[in-house]
Amino acid sequence: MKKVLVIEDDESIRRSVGMMLRISGFEAFYAENGSIGLQLAQQSMPDVVICDIAMPVMDGYKFMEELKKNSTTAKIPVIFLTAKASEEDIQKGKALGVNAYLTKPIWPADLLKAVQEQIGGSTTVA
Amino acid sequence: MHEDSPQERIEELERRLREETERRVALEHEISKIKVQFETQLSQRTDLLQEVIGQLQKEIAQRDEVEGKLRQRTEDMDTFIQQLKYEMDDRKNVEQTLRLSEERFRSVIENAPVGICVIDAHGMFEYLNPAYCLIYGYLPDDLIGESIMDVMPKTKHDEFYKAYSGVFRGEDSLQGEWEMLTNNGELVTVLMDAVSFISSDVQTGNSADGETKKLIIFALDITERKRAEDMFKRAKVVIDQSPAVIYQFAHRSGFPLEFVSDNISQFGYAPSDFIAPKLEELWYVHSDDRATFMNSFTGLRAQNIDHLRREFRLKTRSGLHCWVEDNIVASRDENGKITRYQGVLFDITERKKAEEEISKALEKERELVQLKTRFVTIASHEFRTPLTSIMLAAGILNDFGSMLTPEQHTENLLLIREGVEHMTQLLDDLLMFSRVDATSMAVNYTTFDISSWCEEFAHRIQNTMGRAHDFEYSVPQRECSYTGDESLLKQMLERLLSNAFKYSPERSTVRFDVSYDEQFVAFTIVDKGIGILQEDVVRIFEPFHRGANIGNIGGTGMGLAILSKLVELHSGTIQVQSSLQGTVFTLALPLTLQITIPNSTRLEHVSSHNN
């Protein structure tokens, strides 16, 4: 079962995303900020990470930088799911090497599709 | 009758004899006298005769002498005539010289750059040199025989007549500036002087002794000079009255100032204060501006440019500083070498002030725009979160509905409800915030006893939002009159208390203490909650700002922002002290609410906000 790490400070969103992933056959686990997310990513090596940007303690940008610093975690595909919708924000995210940039609000089907694209890509290679 | 006796006769005879004798003696004496007289006269006559003879002899001698002299004279005369002949030759030579001299003299006068004319006693022109004619635009023939009054403006006739008749009498002078008329009817200013002289020209002479007085008038056209002078005078007035100080300094060692206009007085100085040897010490420049002051000028010279504009603070005599704008332009000679610099300097203190005010205002405006942009950005961001959870839950129900357990179904519906509630709260808060911000609040004034009101309020809280906590309160029993809007007061206190409950563990103590004096009422809310991080304390009243340590505790981040606006509206104060063991908020309000309606303009509103 493919593992998806959801880093999101809003509990409702965490719960919804998790429910959708589990129903779709993924193993979902959560972190409420980038710092915890980084620890979990290193421990569990998820197949894909869904990450918010604006979060307390460690934001999504910092999480991305830290993830890329470690060669073992650097290859994990990351999807930014954020309310930061300006072009500037999107460019900043892409510059950090995120694999997909999704803006809130989003339909669960669209998010699921993005997750499957990332995992499908990696499974094809594998 | 008696007869002569002989005796008597004798006696008579004797007497006669005596008488006769006496007469004879007298006669003889007389004769001898005449004889002497005659002899004297004779001898005198002889002398006279001799004298006459002598004179005759003398005259003869004199005549001889005269004849001699006459001869001599005749000889002299011949010599004289001879000399006269020589002299006449000489004189011819002299006349020749004189003619040459006169020609030269005439040539000088004809070519003189000064107008020269001769007028007679009636003021008629007898002679005019070309320069004189040039002044008035006439030909000499136009004016000869005409009156000098023809070139005088009518208004000056009397004055001029008086002056030139005075010159004839040797009592007055024509010396001075006169305005005269040209052929074109234009006025020219002429500097004149005149001397009278006696002419022996018999043809025109008519005075008793055949001599007549005439006037030589010298005239110099100074119209241009006059115009330049007038312009200079006007320029000086303009300079002196203008706020701009004009100055000039030489391009040589030390750059000595050559000129400073009098209006330097506006800074309390006299021009002489600057034309002094110790100018290079820059005592008149604010010490902070001296380096740039010097560098700008060195730069001007180094870059070989001709214009410099700089601003600096000029120290006035009274020790104050005025901002001045200083413009320096280099003057160059025909070889392109800088000779001197001209400067114009003016007080821009007011402009600087205005600029500062404008830049402050602009800064505030910018801040306000930034604030608004940020507000909108954050607000839209804040809406995305509940919208996302609504969309996700709705999407799951829609796309995966058949796969959901009844619990999951309910959970999604609950998430939608929570999202909608959160958005509604957000909208309410934003609306409230904008209402307080725009000060379009409707304020309902009432006067009531704060003691009993607080008692009632606290009691109600205890039974509602404070039920899950250990809520303690203290309110003085002493009555205290409060004038203000009851619902706004309730709102402020509820916001503080709801935060205290929200961020404190259940069953922990939350205190509400009220105190008052003659002017203020103070409300202190103490909790033993999660506290506010040091970096968040300063930002806690910003819209949407939420502490980093709030975890999953929901909220819009607008509560304290609205509160601070309300406190501001009440001219009150709000203080916060916090540690991770708890938080103390102290709200102080004046007992009589005087809602200060800030000016509706944005800038003033911001400034009151900053206060």
CA B485 to chain centre: 60
More confident residue, B265 or B282: B265
Confidence category of residue B528, pLDDT binned at 50, 70, 90: very high
Rounded Cα distance between B467 and B469, Å, is 5
Q: Is the dihedral of CA B579, B580, B586, B587 positive or negative?
A: positive
pLDDT at A112 over 60: yes
Q: Which two tokens stand for residue B320?
A: 């104050």
In the prediction, which pLDDT does B189 show?
87
Q: Which two tokens stand for residue B479?
A: 């009555």
Location of structure tokens 């499908």: A120
| Largest Cα–Cα separation, chain A | 36
Location of structure tokens 């706004």: B488
pLDDT at A125 over 50: no
Rounded Cα distance between A19 and B412, Å, is 9
Cβ contact (<8 Å) for B395 and A84?
no
Residue B433: name the closest of B557, B593, B571, B610 by CA.
B557
Cβ contact (<8 Å) for A19 and B396?
yes
Residue A36's domain is classified under what CATH number? 3.40.50.2300
Residue type at position B104 = R
Residue pairs spanning A and B at CB distance below 8 A: 79
pLDDT at A83 over 90: no
pLDDT at B389 over 50: yes
Collect all residues of chain A within an 8 Å Cβ-Cβ radius of residue B381: 54, 83-84
Residue type at position B152 = M
Q: Please, are residues B123 and B164 in contact by the beta-carbon 8 Å criterion?
A: yes
CA B397 to chain centre: 85
Q: Which two tokens stand for residue B172?
A: 């007055």
Rounded Cα distance between B312 and B287, Å, is 10
Q: Which residue of A has its CA nearest to B549?
A: A56
pLDDT at B611 over 70: no
In the prediction, which pLDDT does B601 show?
34
Collect all residues of chain A within an 8 Å Cβ-Cβ radius of residue B374: none
Q: How far is B387 from chain A (nearest CA, A)?
A: 6
pLDDT at B120 over 50: yes
Average predicted confidence (pLDDT) for chain B: 84
- Per DSSP bridges, beta strands A48-51 and A27-31 are unpaired
* Structural domain span for residue A68: 3-120
Q: Is A23 on the interface with B (CB under 8 A)?
A: yes
More confident residue, B601 or B151: B151
- Per DSSP bridges, beta strands B212-221 and B187-199 are antiparallel
Average pLDDT over residues B140-148: 83
In the prediction, which pLDDT does B211 show?
60
Residue B251: name the closest of B333, B182, B179, B174 by CA.
B333
Confidence category of residue A80, pLDDT binned at 50, 70, 90: very high
pLDDT at B180 over 70: yes
In the prediction, which pLDDT does B580 show?
83
Q: Which residue of B has its CA nearest to A84?
A: B381
Rounded Cα distance between B87 and B129, Å, is 36
Does some domain include residue A36? yes
Q: Is the dihedral of CA B49, B52, B56, B62 positive or negative?
A: positive
Q: Which residue of B has its CA nearest to A11?
A: B552
Q: Please, are residues B147 and B124 in contact by the beta-carbon 8 Å criterion?
A: yes
In the prediction, which pLDDT does B594 show?
66
> DSSP 3-state assignment of B100?
helix
Does some domain include residue A126? no
Q: How far is CA B389 from CA A110, B21, B401, B414, B417, in A?
A: 14, 215, 16, 10, 10
Which stretch of A79-93, B79-93, B217-231, B434-448 has the lowest confidence by average pLDDT?
Answer: B434-448
Tell me which residues of chain A, numbers 67 to 126, contact chain B at a CB-CB cutoff of 8 Å. Answer: 83-86, 103-109, 111
pLDDT at B130 over 60: yes
Residue B529: name the closest of B493, B477, B583, B481 by CA.
B583
Q: Using CB atoms, which residue from A13, A19, A23 is nearest to B388?
A: A13
Average pLDDT over residues B450-471: 92
Average pLDDT over residues B412-428: 90
DSSP conformational letter for B287: G
Does some domain include residue A45? yes
Q: Write out the H or E segment, with its range, that includes residue A76.
A: none
What are B552-597's pLDDT values in tens digits? 677 788 888 889 988 888 889 999 998 888 999 999 999 887 655 5
Q: Which two tokens stand for residue B101?
A: 């001299």
In the prediction, which pLDDT does B424 show?
92
> DSSP 3-state assignment of B537?
helix
pLDDT at A5 over 90: yes
Q: Omega before B271 cis (within 30°)?
A: no
Q: Is B419 on the interface with A (CB under 8 A)?
A: yes
Q: What percent of chain B has pLDDT over 70?
A: 93
Q: Please, are residues B180 and B190 in contact by the beta-carbon 8 Å criterion?
A: yes
Average pLDDT over residues B254-265: 85
In the prediction, which pLDDT does B603 show?
33
Does some domain include residue A125? no
More confident residue, B598 or B546: B546
> DSSP 3-state assignment of B421?
helix
Q: Is B88 on the interface with A (CB under 8 A)?
A: no
Q: Which positions ≥6 away from B160 have C-beta within 8 Å?
A: B148, B149, B152, B178
How many distinct structural domains can be found in chain A? Answer: 1
Rounded Cα distance between A47 and A29, Å, is 12
Q: Which residue of A has its CA nearest to B414?
A: A12
Cβ contact (<8 Å) for A12 and B395?
no
Q: Using CB atoms, which residue from A16, A56, A57 is nearest to B396?
A: A16
